[in-house]
A and B are shown apart, each in its own frame.
Chain A
Amino acid sequence: MSTKNNSREKGELVLRMRGLRMEGQADGEWHEIVKGIDLDLHRGEVVGLIGESGAGKSTIGLASMGFARPGCKITAGSIEFDGTDLMQQSEDYKRNLRGGRISYVAQSAAASFNPAHKLIDQFGEAAVQHGVLTKSEADRDAKDLYRRLELPNPDTIGYRYPHQVSGGQLQRAMVAMAMACKPDLIIFDEPTTALDVTTQIEVLAAVKDIVTTFNTAAIYITHDLAVVAQVADKIMVLRHGNMIELGETRSMIAKPKEDYTRELLAVRTYKKEEFAEANDDVPILKVSNITASYGKGVNVLDNVSMEIHRGHTVAVVGESGSGKSTLARVITGLLPPSQGSIEFEGEILPPALKSRNKDQLRRLQMIYQMPDTALNPRQRVRDVIGRPLSFYLGMQGQEKENRIRELLTLIELDPDHFIDRFPGELSGGQKQRICIARALAAEPELIICDEVTSALDQLVAEEILKLLQRLQNELHVSYMFITHDIATVKAISDEMVVMLQGEIVEQGEKDVVLTPPQHEYTELLLSSVPEMDPDWLDDLLAKRAAGEVVSTIASKPNA
Chain B
Amino acid sequence: MNAILTMIAQRLALGLLTLFVVSLIIFFSVSLMPGDYAEAILGQAALPDTVKAFREQLGLDQPAYVRYFQWLGGVLTGDLGTSFSSERAVTELIGARFGNTMFLAAYAAVIAMPLALVLGVLAALYRNSFYDRTVNVVTLTTISSPEFFLAYVLIMFLSVGLWNGSEMIMGGLFPPIANVSNDVGFWERVYRTTLPAITMTLVIVAHMMRMTRASVIDLLASPYIEMANLKGLSKSRIVFKHALPNALAPIINVIAVNMAYLIVGVVLIEVVFVYPGLGGLLVDSVSKRDMPVVQGSCLVFAAVYIMLNLTADVLSIVSNPRLLHPR
Kindly list chain B residues whose C-beta atoms are within 8 Å of the C-beta of A125: 231, 233
User: Could you tell me which residues of chain B, from 60 to 87, have a CB within 8 Å of some CB in chain A?
Assistant: none
User: Could you tell me which residues of chain B, from 286 to 327, have a CB within 8 Å of some CB in chain A?
Assistant: 321-322, 325-327
Which of the 9-residue segments A94-102, A386-394, A428-436, A437-445 touches chain B?
A: A94-102
Do B227 and A164 have beta carbons less than 8 Å apart? no
> From residue A159, how far is it (CB to closest CB) to chain B in Å?
10
Residue B245 CB within 8 A of the other chain: yes
Do A164 and B232 have beta carbons less than 8 Å apart? no
Do A108 and B223 have beta carbons less than 8 Å apart? yes
Q: How far is the CA of A62 from the CA of B226 in the complex (A)?
A: 11
Do B224 and A114 have beta carbons less than 8 Å apart? yes
Choose from B224, B229, B234 the contact partner of A113 (Cβ within 8 Å): B224
Do A98 and B231 have beta carbons less than 8 Å apart? yes
Residue A26 CB within 8 A of the other chain: no
Kindly list chain B residues whose C-beta atoms are within 8 Å of the C-beta of A116: 242, 245-246, 321
Do A99 and B224 have beta carbons less than 8 Å apart? no
Q: Footprint of B on A, CB under 8 Å?
A: 62, 65, 67, 69, 94-100, 103-104, 106, 108, 111-117, 125-126, 129-130, 160-161, 163-164
Kindly list chain A residues whose C-beta atoms are within 8 Å of the C-beta of B164: none
Do B222 and A126 have beta carbons less than 8 Å apart? no
Sample (16) of A-B pairs whose CB atoms are under 8 Å apart: A67-B230, A95-B232, A95-B233, A104-B231, A106-B226, A106-B227, A111-B223, A113-B224, A115-B224, A116-B242, A116-B246, A125-B231, A126-B233, A130-B232, A163-B325, A163-B327
Do B321 and A96 have beta carbons less than 8 Å apart? no
> From residue B19, how far is it (CB to closest CB) to chain A in Å?
31
Do B226 and A112 have beta carbons less than 8 Å apart? yes
Kindly list chain A residues whose C-beta atoms are within 8 Å of the C-beta of B88: none
Kindly list chain B residues whose C-beta atoms are within 8 Å of the C-beta of A114: 224, 227-228, 242, 245-246
Q: How far is the CA of A111 from the CA of B246 in the complex (A)?
A: 13
Residue B237 CB within 8 A of the other chain: yes
Chain B residue nearest in CB terms to A177: B231
Kindly list chain B residues whose C-beta atoms are within 8 Å of the C-beta of A161: 321-322, 325
Do A129 and B237 have beta carbons less than 8 Å apart? yes
Chain B residue nearest in CB terms to A130: B232
> 16 more A-B contacts (CB under 8 A) besides A62-B230, A65-B230, A161-B325?
A96-B232, A99-B230, A99-B233, A100-B232, A103-B230, A104-B227, A106-B223, A106-B227, A111-B224, A115-B224, A116-B242, A117-B245, A129-B231, A160-B325, A163-B321, A164-B325
Given known contacts A111-B223, A161-B321, A104 and B246 CB-to-CB distance under 8 angstroms: no
Q: How far is the CA of A99 from the CA of B231 in the complex (A)?
A: 4
Q: How far is the CA of A391 from the CA of B321 in the complex (A)?
A: 50
User: Could you tell me which residues of chain B, from 244 to 263, have a CB within 8 Å of some CB in chain A?
Assistant: 245-246
Q: How far is the CA of A115 from the CA of B322 in the complex (A)?
A: 7
> From residue A23, how far is it (CB to closest CB) to chain B in Å?
17
Q: How far is the CA of A104 from the CA of B230 in the complex (A)?
A: 7
> From residue A431, how far is it (CB to closest CB) to chain B in Å?
27
Do A112 and B232 have beta carbons less than 8 Å apart? no
Given known contacts A104-B227, A129-B237, A164-B325, A111 and B232 CB-to-CB distance under 8 angstroms: no
Do A129 and B234 have beta carbons less than 8 Å apart? yes
Count of residues in B whose CB is under 8 Å from the partner chain: 22
Given known contacts A115-B246, A116-B245, A163-B322, A129 and B224 CB-to-CB distance under 8 angstroms: no
Do A69 and B226 have beta carbons less than 8 Å apart? yes
Q: How far is the CA of A130 from the CA of B223 in the complex (A)?
A: 21
> From residue A74, how far is it (CB to closest CB) to chain B in Å?
16
Kindly list chain A residues whose C-beta atoms are within 8 Å of the C-beta of B234: 95, 129
> From residue B257, how far is it (CB to closest CB) to chain A in Å?
23
**Residue of B223, B224, B226, B246 most packed against chain A (CB within 10 A):** B224
Kindly list chain A residues whose C-beta atoms are within 8 Å of the C-beta of B322: 115, 161, 163
Kindly list chain B residues whose C-beta atoms are within 8 Å of the C-beta of A106: 223, 226-227
Choose from B231, B245, B321, B325 the contact partner of A126 (Cβ within 8 Å): B231
> From residue B252, how far is it (CB to closest CB) to chain A in Å?
14
> From residue A54, how far is it (CB to closest CB) to chain B in Å?
20
Given known contacts A116-B321, A161-B325, A111 and B230 CB-to-CB distance under 8 angstroms: no
Kindly list chain A residues whose C-beta atoms are within 8 Å of the C-beta of B228: 114
Q: How far is the CA of A106 from the CA of B242 in the complex (A)?
A: 17
**Residue of B226, B231, B232, B241 most packed against chain A (CB within 10 A):** B232
Kindly list chain A residues whose C-beta atoms are within 8 Å of the C-beta of B241: 117
Kindly list chain A residues whose C-beta atoms are within 8 Å of the C-beta of B325: 160-161, 163-164
Chain A residue nearest in CB terms to B323: A163
Q: How far is the CA of A315 from the CA of B281 in the complex (A)?
A: 73
Q: How far is the CA of A67 from the CA of B228 in the complex (A)?
A: 13
Chain A residue nearest in CB terms to B321: A116
Kindly list chain B residues whose C-beta atoms are within 8 Å of the C-beta of A163: 321-322, 325, 327
Choose from B227, B246, B321 the contact partner of A112 (Cβ within 8 Å): B227
User: Could you tell me which residues of chain B, from 211 to 243, have a CB within 8 Å of some CB in chain A?
Assistant: 222-224, 226-234, 237, 241-242
Kindly list chain A residues whose C-beta atoms are within 8 Å of the C-beta of B224: 111-115
Chain B residue nearest in CB terms to A121: B241
Kindly list chain A residues whose C-beta atoms are within 8 Å of the C-beta of B222: 111
> From residue A69, how far is it (CB to closest CB) to chain B in Å?
7
Chain B residue nearest in CB terms to A164: B327
Q: How far is the CA of A129 from the CA of B231 in the complex (A)?
A: 9
> From residue B58, how far is it (CB to closest CB) to chain A in Å?
51
Kindly list chain A residues whose C-beta atoms are within 8 Å of the C-beta of B230: 62, 65, 67, 98-99, 103-104
Kindly list chain B residues whose C-beta atoms are within 8 Å of the C-beta of A99: 230-233
Q: How far is the CA of A126 from the CA of B229 in the complex (A)?
A: 10
> From residue A213, how far is it (CB to closest CB) to chain B in Å?
22
Chain B residue nearest in CB terms to A110: B223
> From residue A157, how far is it (CB to closest CB) to chain B in Å?
13
> From residue A131, how far is it (CB to closest CB) to chain B in Å?
11
> From residue B216, how far is it (CB to closest CB) to chain A in Å?
14
Q: How far is the CA of A351 from the CA of B242 in the complex (A)?
A: 50
Q: How far is the CA of A99 from the CA of B245 in the complex (A)?
A: 22
Given known contacts A126-B233, A163-B322, A113 and B327 CB-to-CB distance under 8 angstroms: no
Q: How far is the CA of A125 from the CA of B227 in the complex (A)?
A: 12
Chain B residue nearest in CB terms to A165: B327
Q: How far is the CA of A113 from the CA of B230 in the complex (A)?
A: 12
> From residue B261, how far is it (CB to closest CB) to chain A in Å?
28
User: Could you tell me which residues of chain B, from 69 to 118, have a CB within 8 Å of some CB in chain A?
Assistant: none
> From residue B207, how far is it (CB to closest CB) to chain A in Å?
27
Kindly list chain A residues whose C-beta atoms are within 8 Å of the C-beta of B226: 69, 106, 112
Chain B residue nearest in CB terms to A94: B232
Chain A residue nearest in CB terms to B222: A111
> From residue B241, how far is it (CB to closest CB) to chain A in Å?
8
Chain B residue nearest in CB terms to A126: B231
Q: How far is the CA of A129 from the CA of B233 in the complex (A)?
A: 7
Kindly list chain A residues whose C-beta atoms are within 8 Å of the C-beta of B227: 104, 106, 112-114
**Residue of B224, B227, B231 most packed against chain A (CB within 10 A):** B231
Q: How far is the CA of A163 from the CA of B234 in the complex (A)?
A: 25
Kindly list chain A residues whose C-beta atoms are within 8 Å of the C-beta of B223: 106, 108, 111-112
Q: Which 6 A-B pairs have the closest CB atoms?
A: A99-B231, A98-B232, A99-B232, A116-B245, A126-B231, A111-B223
Q: How far is the CA of A509 from the CA of B327 in the complex (A)?
A: 42
Chain A residue nearest in CB terms to B327: A164
Q: How far is the CA of A62 from the CA of B223 in the complex (A)?
A: 14
Q: How far is the CA of A96 from the CA of B325 in the complex (A)?
A: 33
Q: How far is the CA of A8 from the CA of B151 in the complex (A)?
A: 71
Kindly list chain B residues whose C-beta atoms are within 8 Å of the C-beta of A96: 232
> From residue B171, how far is it (CB to closest CB) to chain A in Å?
47
> From residue B327, how far is it (CB to closest CB) to chain A in Å?
5
Q: How far is the CA of A292 from the CA of B223 in the complex (A)?
A: 36
> From residue B228, how far is it (CB to closest CB) to chain A in Å?
7
Do A67 and B229 have beta carbons less than 8 Å apart? yes
Kindly list chain B residues whose C-beta atoms are within 8 Å of the C-beta of A67: 229-230
Kindly list chain B residues whose C-beta atoms are within 8 Å of the C-beta of A104: 227, 230-231
Given known contacts A111-B222, A114-B242, A98 and B229 CB-to-CB distance under 8 angstroms: yes
Kindly list chain A residues whose C-beta atoms are within 8 Å of the C-beta of B246: 114-116
> From residue B180, how far is it (CB to closest CB) to chain A in Å?
45
